[in-house]
């Protein structure tokens, strides 16, 4: 079921999302958190870093699994999602680096890496709270619009529209990796709670499919209608207002 929290602006979306992560950590200090990248959660990470710095929350016993990583990419490449997480969050909080996980962007055998990633999540007890953003084309993680979607963590081809949207983080579009490792829909749906962050008018179309109760493989975010506990935190533009 989708619950909706409409916020006035990006700052409020970031604060509300951080409050939910903070409440999860207060209730269960050893929570397993699923994290996302992209521009949208940057404000939430800044709020969480501040909360942690000021002693309101602690990640000391928490463990994290990110949704995805480009493939191939080395973890210290400037545009890797590992680097993004280090810069936006991990280096700014009290988490044990050994408890932070992203798919290995240099795995020799991506299929085995996907299986291993899902096994690690299961061994950690499953994801308690998954933070999600949404691509302009409706992707979640890097589960791109397609006729066939995949259950487990896997290596996937990025669509031209995602390569173009994400090229803003790279020196040029040519440098965007053409593939990525991503949690599959089953991995994401295994999370007990999900918060979906959406800001800006370019997210209004995928969000409209979700809110219309549609189940479209050409708009993977709409499938969240099947999850029992999703909170959409959106600004008015993403709500199409
Ligand atoms: C990327 C990530 C997604 C993210 C999406 C939206 O492609 N793989 O997890 O949700 O982009 O990004 P942004 O928040 O920058 O719009």
pLDDT digits (tens, 9 = 90+) for 81-90: 999 999 999 9
Predicted pLDDT at 1 = 82
User: Exposed (0-12), middle (13-18) or buried (19+): which is 46, by Cβ within 10 Å?
Assistant: middle
Take residue 136 and report the two structure tokens written for it. 């302009």
Whole-number Å distance between alpha carbons of 199 and 234: 6
Digit-coded pLDDT (tens) for 55-76 = 999 999 999 999 999 999 999 9
154 forms beta bridges with 182
Whole-number Å distance between alpha carbons of 182 and 42: 19
Q: Is 132:67 a contact under the CB 8 Å cutoff?
A: yes
Q: Which residue numbers are catalytic?
A: 68, 137, 139, 144
Separation of CA 164 and ligand 1 centre (Å): 12
Separation of CA 70 and ligand 1 centre (Å): 12
> Which residue do the tokens 């490449």 mark?
77
Percentage of the chain lying above the pLDDT 70 cut:
100
Strand (E) or helix (H) holding 101: strand 100-101
Which of 13, 43, 134, 182 for a ligand 1 pocket mutation test, highest count of atoms within 8 Å of Cβ?
134
Residues of the chain with pLDDT below 70 are: none
Which of 37, 158, 195, 234 for a ligand 1 pocket mutation test, highest count of atoms within 8 Å of Cβ?
37
Whole-number Å distance between alpha carbons of 57 and 54: 8
With a threshold of 0.85, does the pTM exceed it?
yes
Atom 6 of ligand 1, nearest CA residue: 135
Predicted pLDDT at 137 = 96
Whole-number Å distance between alpha carbons of 166 and 177: 10
Q: Coil, strand or helix: which one is 91? A: helix
Separation of CA 44 and ligand 1 centre (Å): 14
Digit-coded pLDDT (tens) for 117-150 = 999 999 999 999 999 999 999 999 999 999 999 9
């Amino acid at each position: 079921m989708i619950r909706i929290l409409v916020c006035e602006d990006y700052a409020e979306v970031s604060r509300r999302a951080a409050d939910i992560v903070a409440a999860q950590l207060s209730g269960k200090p050893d929570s397993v958190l699923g994290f996302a990248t992209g521009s949208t959660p940057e404000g939430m990470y800044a709020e969480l870093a501040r909360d942690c710095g000021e002693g309101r929350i602690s990640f000391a016993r928490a463990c994290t699994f990110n949704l995805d990583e480009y493939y191939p990419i080395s973890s210290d490449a400037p545009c890797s999602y590992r680097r993004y997480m280090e810069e936006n969050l991990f280096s700014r909080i009290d988490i044990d680096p050994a408890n932070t996980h992203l798919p290995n962007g240099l795995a020799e055998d991506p299929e085995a890496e996907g299986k291993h990633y899902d096994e690690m999540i299961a061994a950690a007890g499953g994801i308690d709270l998954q933070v999600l953003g949404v691509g302009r084309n409706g992707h979640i993680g890097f589960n791109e619009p397609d006729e066939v979607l995949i259950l487990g963590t896997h290596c996937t081809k990025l669509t031209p529209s995602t390569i173009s949207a994400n090229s803003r983080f790279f020196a040029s579009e040519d440098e965007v990796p053409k593939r990525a490792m991503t949690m599959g829909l089953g991995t994401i749906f295994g999370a007990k709670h999900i918060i979906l962050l959406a800001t800006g008018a370019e997210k209004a179309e995928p969000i409209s499919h979700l809110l219309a109760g549609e189940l479209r493989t050409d708009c993977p975010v709409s499938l969240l209608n099947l999850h029992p506990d999703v909170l959409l935190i959106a600004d008015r533009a993403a709500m199409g207002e």
